[in-house]
Structure 1
Amino acid sequence: MPGTMHGRVVEMSSTPRLRFWLAGNAAVDRESLSEIDVALGHRLDWYLGGMAVGRSLVDVRRESGFFLWRHGNGADESAGGGFSYEIYVDEDGQRRAVGPGHHYGSVLSLVMAVPLHNGAWLNAQTLVAPPPPSWGLPTFAGLIIAATATCTVVILMVRRSTRPMRRLADAAEAFGRGEHVARLLEDGPIEVQRTTRAFNDMLGRIRRFVDDRMRMLAAISHDLRTPITSLRLRAELVEDAELRERMRASLEELERMTEATLAFSREDAMREETRTVDLAALVETVVCDIQDHGCEAAFDGPARLAYACRPTAMKRAVRNLVDNAVAYGQRARVRLDAEGGAVVLTIEDDGPGIPDDALERVFEPFVRLEESRSRETGGTGLGLAIARTIVRGHGGDIVLSNRAEGGLSVRATLPLRDER
């Protein structure tokens, strides 16, 4: 082949991915070769099988520049497939795109130089370019869409599976607050169905037990009215005036206890509708009623405090506590606060207090302490019992404590409802 044709043949052998050219010197700098480059050069000589007249040079390096991807069928890259690579630097030293469609990036460049018999060098360069921009975005978008769809399906399935459990938890919490709870629908997984069925059975048994107890108390209290009335008529026939008055006082006390027991049995807190009221206004109304009767009482609390409760029962509980403080402690200081997810009602008085060993016993029905709660006060011993029953029916509790400076402190805690 004539020497003038060598360059033409080499040029026609080039593709966008692999470029060949002839030059008078090697395109590889010998001084910059690494041990890996030298080893690759020896491997290239071995592949050539002695066709090179000297040592071949290989240089693997990273190049930065602008790439232009061309879409083709891959059969003939020279007809438009593959990519082109250029480095373009403005006068101000800033790299800019050569033209539309160019993207700046970094590629791995492999440069080879093979010495020829005529003293020229056959140089070759190939580039391993990053994936085209049109590949990454659709793939990433597809992954996002698939992940979103999968997460949505999983969330819907989990919510559907756990909905009966959430309904059961809400019903148990409402029942613990003393609210009326209807029987739950027994659906969901088999384990949840069995748990719901057990809850419904327990709910029915507790209701029957409470109803039977209330009916028994009401019947006993009602039946006591007849003998009390008969005894009162007979007491009027007693000629001794002093004995007659003592009998009359005893019968009046027995009648008060009977009426209190009837009122306690009628306190069917489970049947009263639960609704959201202004608890601050409710407590302040009770305090104002006490003040209207000439008793010393004061209220300190927020201007408004929304709370879901059974208002009639709650008002009775607050009234019992404030009446108790005024009757046995001369005055009542009422404070209402919202602390850490709970409503706290504190009532303090300046009375003699209660012995530490009786702080729990006074909550038992008909328990009265003679040293501070004598029969002349007119108490029946049910006020604190009713108040605690109502507060516990709302999921809270009442605790008594003696103040260091004297007097009794009543702390009623009511949990705030979890609105979900």
Structure 2
Amino acid sequence: MVFVNGEDYEHLCRVKSKLDHLIDGDFIDCTVLENKCDFGSNILLTNIGQEFLRRIESEREGRLVVTTHFFKQCVQLQGDHASRVLAKGMIQQFLEKHTIFTIDVSPPNYLPGTMTAFMDFVTSAGQEIFRDKVKVVPDFIKHKLHVDCSEEDYQAVLDVLRTISVEISKGSKKQQEDRVPPQCVVCLDYVDPAWLCFESCGHYACKSCFLHQVNSVLKQHEFPINCAKCCRALAFKDIVRALLDGDEGENLSDAGQFEFFLDTSEHLEILANSALSFLVSRNSNGYRYCRVPDCRGVIRVTGEERLGSCDVCSAVYCMRCGSEDHRNMNCELYSQLKSNVDSSLRHWMEEDPDNRQFCPKCNAAIQKDRGCNHMQCEFCKTHFCWVCFMTAHSCGQLYAHLNEIHGGNGLDFLDRAVEEFDPDLDQDLIAALELQLRL
């Protein structure tokens, strides 16, 4: 934890802003990037993007930390300046050059049921090698598969889809004779015995097909989850009911049931976070994410000129603008000073122009509290005159300039006595000061 203390509130805010940026690093907002996948969510939030981000982090060998905040839909880059700049460049190239094969699996290209059967094939335990080589993101709404793989593996995917479709066609007549509607809106086949009817629209889906859709959407951290036929947002309890249905875990071992429980809990957490993210994105004027980096809280921005606190981490914030506490400064000025370092510095310099100037050599900001007109920059060590900004290589040259051009160093007797006063070292100065005061 880093504490910043000081007497000047505005200067303290500027220092805090710089420290925040140094510690927080850079954020890439995945909701506003132009380079997005066809399936809506930014590719950085997908399994494909996450694998790429892990790779660039490992390549920097401890000099870069990449954190994906799925809840806030952003990627955080922390590390030295060079590593962050390099990482941002690599990410931009990845977004510009990365291509994904899109396969339309809707009829008449493939028979109904092909998409669900293919996802069962990809996620089955016997397809570890295939799953490692091919990254698949299904879109159950548009009945498309987005595949990240080589050209050779892409052809292998097409072969698998054709094989599945042929196998389905062999049993299609028997299925039509034995089964009756309704039809699953996901696989477009007749629903399985385990089926769901959506409350929001009345359409049907196989439970397994719907779980495939839910898992796919949750992996992309998207919300809401829509009916694959009418695109109406599904009722929240339909999604929760599908996730909590215990049929899938009933026949598992104790260890398997525990793993199933953890997986379900993770999905429910993602669902809740995605729903909250949707609320914030649709109501950005009234709700904001808490400004504390690791906090998952959401704060309300009401426009009232008073302070509020986050319900999760208790951080204090301004309810008018959503920023941290800045009670001694209005929202507009605080926002300007925090977002623009040049504006912040200029405002600070203009507050006391007689005692705040820039170094004539390196342009560093310097504040004069007291003393004579001989100044030395702490950064470049240049000696200069506070009156006319003449520079010198030594203090002797500078004092000669002050006496010759300005008639002295600008420090009268009493000021010099107070500045140099040390009761343990200079008793003669004390006597001289007492004599001067009696006069």
Q: Is the shorter-chain TM-score for this pair beyond 0.5, marking a shared fold? A: no
Please state which structure has a larger fraction of its residues in strand.
Answer: 1
Higher normalized contact order (CA 8 Å, seq sep 6+, divided by chain length)? 1
> TM bucket by the smaller chain?
under 0.3
Bigger CA radius of gyration: 1
Superposition TM-score, scaled by structure 1 size: 0.25
